[in-house]
């Protein structure tokens, strides 16, 4: 699968779109009140990774104008049935059930053997619809709104290499700026005139809040949903699945539902709409797992935000949960949310001594592979290849 992956740079396909996206957003944020505009535009002076609009735009190109030969359609239906049967939950619920590896691999290898799927890498005639372009802007607006609020909640000093919004403008103004970004996104969303897409993105906003709430309860204790017995008896599946569920809500949901919305706006057949969702959900989870990993392995210069922040906030992510398997004494520290002197330092050390980092990376690969498997069921074109490459290289991202 990977041999052809290095060939297409996603930015060669949608780089120009992405730079006009930032300009459009800035213009969109002009309001009657220049002071308000200035705060709302603040995080957009440094464009960030723009990963959400990037995948929305590439998925739009992938689905738009799908040429559907009858042979292709029946092959797709067959493969889709395999996936669908394996995990009906994955398509409907928000639980973190995932496509079973063996089945998706089977579908993948079968499809790659079919001449029908031979990549042509052509993007001829593939356009991005204006509504899909708006959607890409909306995803970045919602994401940025959540970051402005997140930085207040996390008391984080920096973002995108800049002092964070509340550091510069104060908490009250930062809360309002986040609200304004969200409100602006909502107006844009309504203008798409597509109730299904409105519902999807509105649900994303709920998910973001719920994910953040789940994490907060994790930090502050008296959390009924977190299993009480966090003694030295890990592996505790409940705790890991709580973590994955929170990850779905705070990150994967926006990826999954906005990519799904891109397919809906492109008029894609239901099978592709579902596959887009599966792709986005797995990509989003892989992405957040890497984020949690980078909190242990990156430098602030690379990420533009402080490292080691999760431990300081009392949050145990995958590397810690895995390390706990090897160092049972971590159970106590996790339980008290690294609140005592030296807890965070000891945890940091044990995580690096353990295979927690390695195991998290392996988990990232599994999610990335599931994302790629879902993508492989789309007809080949350059945009699909770029998305494949993105999912592939995400595992090793450094920022």
Residues of the shown chain interacting with ligand FPP in the complex, contacts defined by CB under 6 A: 142, 145-146, 149-150, 153-154, 156, 178, 182, 205, 208-209, 212, 250-251, 305, 309
Q: Which residue's Cβ has the minimum distance to Mg ion?
A: 154
Q: How far apart are CA 193 and CA 262, in angstroms?
A: 14
Within its chain, how far is the Cα of 264 from the centroid? 19
CB of 193 to Mg ion, least distance (A): 33
* Residue 305 partner contact from Mg ion, ligand FPP, none using kind-dependent CB cut-offs of 5 to 8 Å: ligand FPP
CB of 150 to Mg ion, least distance (A): 4
Q: Specify the residue, 211 or 266, whose C-beta has the smaller distance to Mg ion.
A: 211
CB of 215 to Mg ion, least distance (A): 7
CB of 305 to Mg ion, least distance (A): 7
Q: Specify the residue, 288 or 383, whose C-beta has the smaller distance to ligand FPP.
A: 288
CB 372 within 8 A of CB 390: no
Binding footprint of Mg ion on the chain (CB under 5 A): 150, 154
Q: Specify the residue, 260 or 337, whose C-beta has the smaller distance to Mg ion.
A: 337
**What is the C-alpha radius of gyration for the chain, rounded to an integer number of angstroms?**
21
Q: How far apart are CA 397 and CA 395, in angstroms?
A: 6
CB 5 within 8 A of CB 392: yes
CB of 6 to ligand FPP, least distance (A): 28
CB of 119 to ligand FPP, least distance (A): 34
Report the candidate in 134, 62, 68, 67 with the shortest Cα–Cα distance to residue 386.
62
CB 103 within 8 A of CB 83: yes
* Residue 15 φ then ψ, to 5°: -55, -45
Strands (E), 58-190: 158-159, 162-163
CB of 234 to ligand FPP, least distance (A): 22
* Residue 369 partner contact from ligand FPP, Mg ion, none using kind-dependent CB cut-offs of 5 to 8 Å: none
CB 120 within 8 A of CB 380: yes
* Residue 174 φ then ψ, to 5°: -65, -40
Q: Specify the residue, 140 or 343, whose C-beta has the smaller distance to ligand FPP.
A: 140
Q: Specify the residue, 17 or 292, whose C-beta has the smaller distance to ligand FPP.
A: 292
CB of 116 to ligand FPP, least distance (A): 38
* Residue 31 φ then ψ, to 5°: -135, 180
Per the structure block, which two tokens stand in for 143? 């994401």
Q: How far apart are CA 51 and CA 255, in angstroms?
A: 9
Q: Specify the residue, 66 or 208, whose C-beta has the smaller distance to Mg ion.
A: 208
Q: How far apart are CA 341 and CA 360, in angstroms?
A: 27
Per the structure block, which two tokens stand in for 36? 């308000």
CB of 261 to ligand FPP, least distance (A): 16
CB 148 within 8 A of CB 43: yes
Q: Specify the residue, 141 or 368, whose C-beta has the smaller distance to ligand FPP.
A: 141
Q: Specify the residue, 205 or 265, whose C-beta has the smaller distance to ligand FPP.
A: 205
CB 76 within 8 A of CB 268: no
* Residue 182 partner contact from ligand FPP, Mg ion, none using kind-dependent CB cut-offs of 5 to 8 Å: ligand FPP
CB burial class (10 A; 0-12, 13-18, 19+) of residue 110?
Answer: middle
Q: Specify the residue, 160 or 384, whose C-beta has the smaller distance to ligand FPP.
A: 160
* Residue 319 partner contact from ligand FPP, Mg ion, none using kind-dependent CB cut-offs of 5 to 8 Å: none
* Residue 251 partner contact from Mg ion, ligand FPP, none using kind-dependent CB cut-offs of 5 to 8 Å: ligand FPP
- Tokens 């998305």 sit on residue: 387
């Amino acid at each position: 699968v990977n041999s052809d992956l290095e060939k297409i740079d996603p930015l060669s396909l949608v780089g120009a779109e992405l730079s006009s996206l930032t300009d459009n957003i800035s213009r969109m944020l002009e309001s009657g009140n220049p002071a308000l505009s200035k705060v709302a535009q603040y995080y957009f002076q440094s464009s960030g990774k723009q990963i959400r609009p990037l995948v929305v735009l590439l998925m739009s190109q992938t689905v738009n104008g799908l040429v559907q030969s009858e042979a292709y359609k029946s092959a797709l239906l067959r493969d889709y049935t395999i996936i669908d049967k394996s995990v009906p939950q994955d398509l409907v619920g928000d639980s973190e059930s995932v496509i079973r590896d063996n089945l998706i691999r089977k579908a993948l290898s079968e499809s790659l053997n079919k001449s029908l799927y031979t990549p042509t890498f052509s993007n001829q005639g593939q356009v991005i619809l204006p509504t899909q372009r708006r959607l890409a802007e909306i995803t970045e607006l919602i994401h940025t709104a959540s970051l402005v609020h997140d930085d207040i909640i996390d008391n984080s000093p920096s973002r995108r290499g800049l002092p964070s919004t509340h550091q510069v403008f104060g908490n009250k103004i930062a809360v309002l700026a986040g609200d304004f970004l969200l409100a602006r996104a909502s107006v844009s969303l309504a203008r798409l005139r597509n109730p299904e897409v409105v519902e999807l993105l509105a649900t994303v906003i709920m998910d973001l809040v719920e994910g953040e709430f789940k994490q907060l309860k994790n930090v502050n204790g008296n959390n009924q949903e977190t299993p009480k017995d966090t003694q030295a008896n890990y592996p505790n599946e409940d705790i890991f699945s709580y973590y994955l569920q929170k990850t779905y809500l705070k990150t994967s949901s926006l990826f999954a539902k906005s990519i799904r919305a891109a397919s809906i706006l492109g008029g894609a057949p239901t099978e592709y709409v579902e596959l887009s969702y599966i792709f986005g959900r797995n990509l989003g989870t892989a992405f957040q797992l890497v984020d949690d990993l980078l909190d242990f392995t990156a430098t602030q210069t690379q990420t533009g935000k402080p490292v080691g922040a999760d431990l300081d906030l009392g949050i145990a992510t995958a590397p810690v949960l895995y390390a706990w398997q090897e160092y049972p004494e971590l159970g106590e520290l996790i339980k008290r949310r690294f609140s005592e002197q030296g807890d965070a330092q000891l945890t940091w050390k044990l995580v690096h001594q353990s295979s927690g980092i390695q195991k998290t990376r392996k988990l990232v690969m599994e999610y990335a592979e599931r994302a790629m498997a879902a993508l492989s069921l789309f007809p080949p074109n350059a945009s699909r290849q770029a998305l494949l490459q993105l999912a592939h290289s995400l595992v090793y991202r450094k920022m």
